[in-house]
C-alpha cells in the first residue's frame, strides 16, 4: 500500500473510556448493590445503559472503531482473571454460588476470605487486583463477558474491537499464589495460558470481531531476554492460529526499547504504539526496524493519561512520518482514557480561557478524530481546528499563570546550599536532644486522627453555605482540643493536631497554592468504586500565605509537649496531581518545594520544633525503566531537601512513607537527610528496620508497630514484641514508636485502645529492653 492510500484509510479509535458515567452512575449502582438497595438485574441494566451511551457518544464523535470489553464492574485485570478461569482456590465456592458476588468477593474480600492484593497499574494512579497463580493453576476460557459486550456494540451497528490484557502482561503482573513456592514465576504458565487465549479469540471471531487488541504494556518495562523470548513465542503462536480475528498488539506508558523489534517481527496484523512523552522514542525505533510494511499501525499521539490539549500540528507531523512506515495508520489516544476525567466542559468554575487548555476524555476523543481527518483528507479540512488549537497553545504558553517571573527567578537562584541543612545529622541530633528533651523510644503518630462523620458534615455544610467559616473553624478547634487532650492523657511524647481541617493530603495544599487548579467533576478511578479528583498543576507555583500555621500554633497553645507540624512533600504533591507537560517534572517539583519551604520556615518561626514532611509517593513514582531512576531520584530528593533545608539544626525534620518495599530506594531515603523517618512495618514484622540497618542508615526511624489497615487493636505485648525486634536492628536512642500510617480511616474506640497499648509497650521496653 502506498503512503497515500494509507492516509486515505486513516481511522480514529481508542482503547478504553472512563467507566463511571457522567454522574458516577456506575459507582452508585455498584455500591447500591453491595448495600442490598439494588438487585443484580438493576446493576446489570445500569451498566449496559452506560456502555451503550458511551459507544454512541464515541461513534457520534467520529471514532471509526469503538473499544469493547474495557468496561468493568471493578477492574479489567480481575476481569482477565475471570476470563482465563484463574479463580483463587479460596474464592471458588463463592464464584460457583454466584458469579457476581464471587467477583466482588475477589475484589473486596468477605468476613472470612481475603481479597486479591491490589497494586498500582504501572506508574498510573489506577490500582488493579493482582492475579495469584501457582504451578497447579489450570486455565479455562470464560468468554461470556467479552462476547456479550462485543455483541452489544455490534447490535448498535458499530465497528467494534475487543480490547484484552495480553497473555504476557497478564502473567508478568501476577504473583505466586499462597502455597506456591515464593520464587514461582507465573510466566512459566505461558504454554498453558495460550490455548485459552486461542479459544477466546475464536469465540470473539465467531461473535463477529474483525480485529482484537491485546495490550502488552508490561513490555515497556525492563525485561530479561527470557521474557522477551516468551513474548515472541506467545505472538508467534497466536499469530499462526487459523481461526482468529486480526490481531492488534498494543503497548503504552513508555518506549518499548528492545521489545519493539520483537513486536514488529511478530506475525500479527498490527501494532498500537505510544508516541507521547518518553514513548516518542518509539518513532525512531520503529523506523530503525524498517517499520510495519503492509500492516496496521495505531498511532497513540494524544496523551491518554494527562489532561492537556494536544499540539495538533506536532501530532500531524509525527503522523506524516508514520505514514511512510506502515500499510495503514490510525490515530488514537496513547492508552485507555480511563486515566483522565470525562469532560472538561463540565468545569464551569475554571476560567474559560484556562479551561480551553484542558482536554479530558471527551476532548481527547475529539482531538483524535480531528487528527485522523487531517491525515485522511488533508490539513486544509481541519484548518479551523488547527487555528483554534494554535491560539489555545499560545494562550497557555504566554499566560502569566504559566510564567510567573518572580517564581522563575527564585527557582533559578537555588543553590546547593539551599538544599542542605546547615549542620550534619550527628551535630543536629545533639541540638535536637537538648531542645526537645524526649525519652528514649519516643512515641508519636503519623498525623491524622479519625475523620469523623461530624467533621465531614461540617465541611460539606461550609461548602454548601449552611454554616459560616467562623462556625466551621470553631468546630475544627474543638476537634483539635479533643485530639490534644487525648494524646496528653495517653502520654504520647510528640503530639499532632490531627489534621481535622484536611479533606485530602494533596488537595488541601493544592487549594491554597497559586498555580494549582481544582476540578469539580474531574473524577478518575483509583480502584473499584473509589474515585479521586486529582488537582491540576497548571502554572508556576507560589504560596500567597501560610497554609497550616494557624492550626499547628493553635494546637501548640494547648500543650507544653511538642506538636509536630504536618505537610505533604513536593514529590507526593506531583504524584497525586495532573502535572504540567510543558516543563520537566524537576522544575515543577522545585517550585512546589520552594512554596513548601516557606511553610516549613513559617512553622519554625511560629515556634514549631518538629516538622513532618510526608512523602508516601516517593517510591511509587519511580520511573518504569531502571535507567531513568537516577535522574528521578536526584530531583525528587533535592526537592525534599529544598523543602526542609532552611530550618535551624535544633528543629527536627520528620518524613513518612507508607509501603514497605524499600530495597530499591533505601539510598534515596538516606539522601532525604530527614532526622526521623516513619514507615509501615507492622505486617512485615519490622522487615524495614532490618533493611535500614543493613544499609547503614544513620538517622532515627519509626517502623510502625500498629497496623492501621485493620480495625484490630494490637495488644501491649504484641507491640512490645515488635519493638524488641526493631531494637535488634536500630538502637534505642534512634528508634521511635508509632503506628504504620495516619489514623483518618479508623474509628475512635480502636484508635484510643491501640495508642494506649502502644504507649504502654514503649514504657515497658524502656524499662526492660
Ligand atoms: N500525615 C498523613 C496522615 O496521617 C500521612 C498519610 C499518608 O502517608 N498517606 O494522614
Ligand atoms: Zn502512610
pLDDT digits (tens, 9 = 90+) for 504-546: 999 999 999 999 999 999 999 999 999 999 999 999 999 999 9
| Distance between CA atoms of residues 176 and 185, nearest Å | 7
Cell of 396: 497557555
Give the angle subtended at the CA of 703 by the CAs of 700 and 709, to the nearest 5°: 150
At residue 229, φ and ψ (nearest 5 deg) are -65, -40
For the chain, helix (H) and strand (E) counts, in that order, are: 29, 20
Q: For residue 4, is pLDDT > 70?
A: no
- Residues 294, 296, 299, 305, CA torsion sign: negative
Ligand found nearest the CA of 612: 1
pLDDT band at 3 (very low <50, low <70, confident <90, very high): low
pLDDT digits (tens, 9 = 90+) for 247-299: 999 999 999 999 999 999 999 999 999 999 999 999 999 999 999 999 999 99
Considering only CA atoms, which residue is closest to atom 4 of ligand 1?
Answer: 742
248, 298 in Cβ contact below 8 A?
Answer: yes
pLDDT of residue 684: 85
Neighbours of 463 (CB within 10 A): 11
At residue 653, φ and ψ (nearest 5 deg) are -100, 125
Calculate mean pLDDT across residues 749-765.
98
Q: What is the pTM of this model?
A: 0.95
Judged by DSSP in three states, 48 sits in: helix
333, 364 in Cβ contact below 8 A?
Answer: yes
81, 129 in Cβ contact below 8 A?
Answer: yes
**For residue 447, which atom of ligand 1 is closest to its CA?**
4
Query: Residue 274: in which H helix or E strand, if any?
Result: strand 270-274
**Alpha-carbon torsion angle 310, 316, 317, 318, nearest 10:** 70
Considering only CA atoms, which residue is closest to atom 10 of ligand 1?
Answer: 742
pLDDT digits (tens, 9 = 90+) for 678-731: 999 988 889 999 999 999 999 999 999 999 988 899 999 999 999 999 999 999
Neighbours of 667 (CB within 10 A): 12
DSSP strands (E only) in 639-717: 652-656, 676-679, 700-703
Burial bucket for residue 568 (CB in 10 Å: 0-12, 13-18, 19+): buried
Ligand found nearest the CA of 505: 1
For ligand 1, pick from 575, 742, 745, 751 the residue to mutate: most ligand atoms within 8 Å of CB.
Answer: 742
Judged by DSSP in three states, 327 sits in: strand
pLDDT digits (tens, 9 = 90+) for 566-577: 999 999 999 999
Judged by DSSP in three states, 212 sits in: strand
**113 closest CA partner among 98, 133, 99, 93:** 93
DSSP strands (E only) in 409-543: 514-517, 524-527, 530-532, 536-542
Q: HSE, CB side, 13 Å, CA atoms: give it for residue 742.
A: 25
Our answer on whether the CB atom of 726 is closer than 6 Å to any ligand 1 atom is no
**Alpha-carbon torsion angle 442, 447, 449, 450, nearest 10:** -140
pLDDT digits (tens, 9 = 90+) for 580-591: 999 999 999 999
Q: HSE, CB side, 13 Å, CA atoms: give it for residue 183.
A: 0
CA dist 272 to 4, 166, 370, 371, 695, Å?
Answer: 20, 13, 19, 16, 43
pLDDT band at 6 (very low <50, low <70, confident <90, very high): low
Calculate mean pLDDT across residues 559-569.
98
Calculate mean pLDDT across residues 178-185.
95
Our answer on whether the CB atom of 616 is closer than 6 Å to any ligand 1 atom is yes
| Distance between CA atoms of residues 339 and 575, nearest Å | 13
Counting residues of the chain whose pLDDT is more than 70, the rounded percentage is 99
**708 closest CA partner among 736, 747, 677:** 747
**609 closest CA partner among 669, 641, 561:** 561
**133 closest CA partner among 171, 169, 177:** 177
**702 closest CA partner among 765, 655, 744, 645:** 655
Our answer on whether the CB atom of 566 is closer than 6 Å to any ligand 1 atom is yes
Give the strand order in the sheet containing 564-568.
564-568, 610-614, 652-656, 676-679, 700-703
| Distance between CA atoms of residues 571 and 698, nearest Å | 23
**Active-site position among 91, 339, 654, 709:** 709
Q: For residue 112, is pLDDT > 90?
A: no
pLDDT digits (tens, 9 = 90+) for 190-211: 999 999 999 999 999 999 999 9
Calculate mean pLDDT across residues 312-336.
97
User: What is the whole-number distance in angstroms between the Cα of residue 491 and the centre of ligand 2?
Assistant: 22
User: What is the whole-number distance in angstroms between the Cα of residue 504 and the centre of ligand 2?
Assistant: 13
| Distance between CA atoms of residues 547 and 525, nearest Å | 28
**For residue 656, which atom of ligand 1 is closest to its CA?**
8
Counting residues of the chain whose pLDDT is more than 90, the rounded percentage is 95
Our answer on whether the CB atom of 741 is closer than 6 Å to any ligand 1 atom is yes
Q: Is 266 left (phi over 0), alpha (psi -120 to 50) or beta?
A: beta
Calculate mean pLDDT across residues 66-89.
98
Cell of 55: 459507544
Total residue length of the chain: 769
pLDDT of residue 9: 76
User: What is the whole-number distance in angstroms between the Cα of residue 327 and the centre of ligand 1?
Assistant: 52
User: What is the whole-number distance in angstroms between the Cα of residue 743 and the centre of ligand 2?
Assistant: 9
Q: For residue 616, is pLDDT > 70?
A: yes
User: What is the whole-number distance in angstroms between the Cα of residue 658 and the centre of ligand 1?
Assistant: 8
**For residue 505, which atom of ligand 1 is closest to its CA?**
2
705, 738 in Cβ contact below 8 A?
Answer: yes
**For residue 742, which atom of ligand 1 is closest to its CA?**
4
Q: Answer yes or no: 629 catalytic.
A: no
Q: For residue 499, is pLDDT > 80?
A: yes
Contacts of 698 (CB under 8 A, 6+ apart): 425, 426, 670
User: What is the whole-number distance in angstroms between the Cα of residue 742 and the centre of ligand 2?
Assistant: 6
Tell me the pLDDT of the chain averaged across its residues. 96
Which residues crowd ion ligand 2, with CB under 5 Å?
A: 616, 658, 741
Our answer on whether the CB atom of 505 is closer than 6 Å to any ligand 1 atom is yes
Calculate mean pLDDT across residues 738-754.
96
| Distance between CA atoms of residues 63 and 371, nearest Å | 11
pLDDT of residue 5: 62
Compute and round to an integer the Cα radius of gyration of the chain.
Answer: 27
pLDDT band at 1 (very low <50, low <70, confident <90, very high): very low
Judged by DSSP in three states, 727 sits in: helix
User: What is the whole-number distance in angstroms between the Cα of residue 496 and the centre of ligand 2?
Assistant: 15
- Residues 91, 92, 94, 95, CA torsion sign: positive
Our answer on whether the CB atom of 448 is closer than 6 Å to any ligand 1 atom is yes
pLDDT digits (tens, 9 = 90+) for 462-498: 999 999 999 999 999 999 999 999 999 999 999 999 9
CA dist 435 to 492, 553, 712, Å?
Answer: 17, 18, 36
Place of cell 536492628: 729
Our answer on whether the CB atom of 64 is closer than 6 Å to any ligand 1 atom is no
Our answer on whether the CB atom of 618 is closer than 6 Å to any ligand 1 atom is no
Our answer on whether the CB atom of 656 is closer than 6 Å to any ligand 1 atom is yes
Strand partners, 678: 656, 702
pLDDT of residue 769: 86
CA dist 698 to 262, 432, 610, 671, Å?
Answer: 46, 15, 19, 11
pLDDT digits (tens, 9 = 90+) for 404-433: 999 999 999 999 999 999 999 999 999 999
**Alpha-carbon torsion angle 478, 483, 488, 494, nearest 10:** -120
**For residue 612, which atom of ligand 1 is closest to its CA?**
1
Ligand found nearest the CA of 576: 1
Amino acid at each position: 500500500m502506498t503512503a497515500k492510500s494509507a492516509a486515505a484509510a486513516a481511522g480514529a479509535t481508542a482503547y478504553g473510556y472512563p467507566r463511571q458515567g457522567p454522574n458516577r452512575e456506575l459507582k452508585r449502582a455498584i455500591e447500591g448493590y453491595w448495600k442490598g438497595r439494588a438487585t443484580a438485574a438493576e446493576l446489570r441494566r445500569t451498566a449496559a445503559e452506560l456502555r451503550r451511551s458511551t459507544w454512541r457518544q464515541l461513534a457520534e464523535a467520529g471514532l471509526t472503531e469503538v473499544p469493547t470489553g474495557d468496561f468493568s464492574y471493578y477492574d479489567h485485570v480481575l476481569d482477565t482473571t475471570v476470563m482465563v478461569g484463574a479463580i483463587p482456590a479460596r474464592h471458588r465456592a463463592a464464584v460457583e454460588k454466584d458469579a457476581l458476588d464471587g467477583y466482588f468477593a475477589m475484589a473486596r474480600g468477605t468476613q472470612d476470605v481475603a481479597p486479591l492484593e491490589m497494586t498500582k497499574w504501572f506508574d498510573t494512579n489506577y490500582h488493579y487486583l493482582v492475579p495469584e497463580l501457582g504451578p497447579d493453576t489450570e486455565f479455562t476460557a470464560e468468554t461470556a463477558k467479552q462476547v456479550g459486550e462485543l455483541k452489544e456494540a455490534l447490535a448498535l451497528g458499530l465497528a467494534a474491537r475487543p480490547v484484552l490484557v495480553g497473555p504476557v502482561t497478564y502473567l508478568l503482573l501476577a504473583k505466586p499464589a499462597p502455597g506456591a513456592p515464593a520464587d514461582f514465576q507465573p510466566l512459566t504458565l505461558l504454554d498453558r495460558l495460550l490455548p485459552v487465549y486461542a479459544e477466546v479469540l475464536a469465540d470473539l471471531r465467531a461473535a463477529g470481531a474483525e480485529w482484537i487488541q491485546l495490550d502488552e504494556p508490561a513490555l515497556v518495562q525492563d525485561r530479561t531476554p527470557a521474557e522477551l523470548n516468551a513474548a515472541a513465542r506467545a505472538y508467534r503462536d497466536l499469530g499462526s492460529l487459523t481461526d482468529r480475528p486480526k490481531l492488534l498488539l498494543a503497548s503504552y506508558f513508555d518506549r518499548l526499547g528492545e521489545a519493539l523489534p520483537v513486536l514488529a517481527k511478530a506475525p500479527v496484523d498490527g501494532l498500537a504504539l505510544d508516541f507521547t512523552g518518553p514513548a516518542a522514542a518509539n518513532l525512531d525505533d520503529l523506523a530503525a526496524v524498517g517499520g510495519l510494511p503492509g500492516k496496521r499501525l495505531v498511532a497513540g499521539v494524544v496523551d491518554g493519561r494527562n489532561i492537556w490539549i494536544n499540539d495538533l500540528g506536532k501530532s500531524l507531523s509525527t503522523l506524516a512520518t508514520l505514514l511512510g512506515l506502515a500499510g495503514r495508520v490510525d490515530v488514537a489516544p496513547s492508552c485507555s482514557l480511563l486515566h483522565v476525567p470525562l469532560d472538561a466542559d463540565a468545569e464551569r468554575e475554571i476560567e474559560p480561557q484556562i479551561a480551553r487548555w484542558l482536554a479530558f476524555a471527551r476532548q481527547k476523543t475529539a482531538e483524535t478524530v480531528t487528527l485522523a481527518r487531517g491525515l485522511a483528507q488533508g490539513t486544509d479540512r481541519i484548518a479551523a481546528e488547527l487555528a483554534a488549537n494554535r491560539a489555545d497553545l499560545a494562550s497557555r504558553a504566554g499566560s502569566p499563570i504559566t510564567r510567573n517571573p518572580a517564581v522563575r527567578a527564585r527557582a533559578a537562584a537555588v543553590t546547593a546550599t539551599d538544599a542542605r541543612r546547615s549542620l550534619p545529622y550527628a551535630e543536629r541530633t545533639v541540638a535536637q536532644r537538648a531542645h526537645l528533651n524526649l525519652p528514649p523510644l519516643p512515641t508519636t503518630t503519623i498525623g491524622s486522627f479519625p475523620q469523623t462523620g461530624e467533621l465531614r458534615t461540617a465541611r460539606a455544610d461550609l461548602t454548601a453555605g449552611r454554616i459560616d467559616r467562623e462556625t466551621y473553624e470553631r468546630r475544627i478547634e474543638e476537634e483539635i482540643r479533643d485530639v490534644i487532650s487525648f494524646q496528653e492523657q495517653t502520654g504520647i511524647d510528640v503530639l499532632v493536631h490531627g489534621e481535622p481541617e484536611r479533606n485530602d493530603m494533596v488537595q488541601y495544599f493544592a487549594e491554597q497554592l497559586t498555580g494549582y487548579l481544582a476540578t469539580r467533576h474531574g473524577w478518575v478511578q483509583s480502584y473499584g468504586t473509589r474515585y479521586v479528583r486529582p488537582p491540576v498543576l497548571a502554572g508556576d507555583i507560589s504560596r500567597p500565605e501560610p497554609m497550616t500555621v494557624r492550626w499547628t500554633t493553635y494546637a501548640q497553645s494547648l500543650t507544653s509537649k511538642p506538636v509536630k507540624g504536618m505537610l505533604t512533600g513536593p514529590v507526593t504533591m506531583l504524584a497525586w496531581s495532573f502535572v504540567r507537560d510543558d516543563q520537566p517534572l524537576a522544575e515543577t517539583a522545585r517550585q512546589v518545594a520552594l512554596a513548601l519551604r516557606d511553610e516549613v520556615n513559617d512553622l519554625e518561626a511560629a515556634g514549631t520544633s518538629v516538622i513532618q514532611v510526608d512523602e508516601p509517593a516517593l517510591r511509587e513514582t519511580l520511573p518504569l525503566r531502571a535507567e531513568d531512576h537516577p535522574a528521578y531520584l536526584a530531583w525528587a530528593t533535592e526537592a525534599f531537601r529544598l523543602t526542609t533545608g532552611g530550618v535551624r539544626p535544633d528543629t527536627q525534620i520528620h518524613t513518612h512513607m507508607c509501603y514497605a518495599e524499600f530495597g530499591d530506594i533505601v539510598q534515596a531515603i538516606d539522601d532525604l537527610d530527614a532526622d526521623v523517618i516513619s514507615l509501615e512495618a507492622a505486617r512485615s514484622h519490622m522487615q524495614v528496620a532490618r533493611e535500614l540497618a543493613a544499609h547503614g542508615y544513620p538517622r532515627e526511624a519509626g517502623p510502625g508497630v500498629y497496623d492501621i489497615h485493620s480495625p484490630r487493636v494490637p495488644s501491649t505485648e504484641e507491640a512490645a514484641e515488635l519493638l524488641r525486634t526493631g531494637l535488634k536492628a536500630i538502637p534505642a536512642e534512634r528508634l521511635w514508636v508509632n503506628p504504620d500510617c495516619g489514623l483518618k480511616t479508623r474509628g475512635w474506640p480502636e484508635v484510643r485502645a491501640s495508642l494506649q497499648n502502644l504507649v504502654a509497650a514503649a514504657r515497658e521496653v524502656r524499662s526492660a529492653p
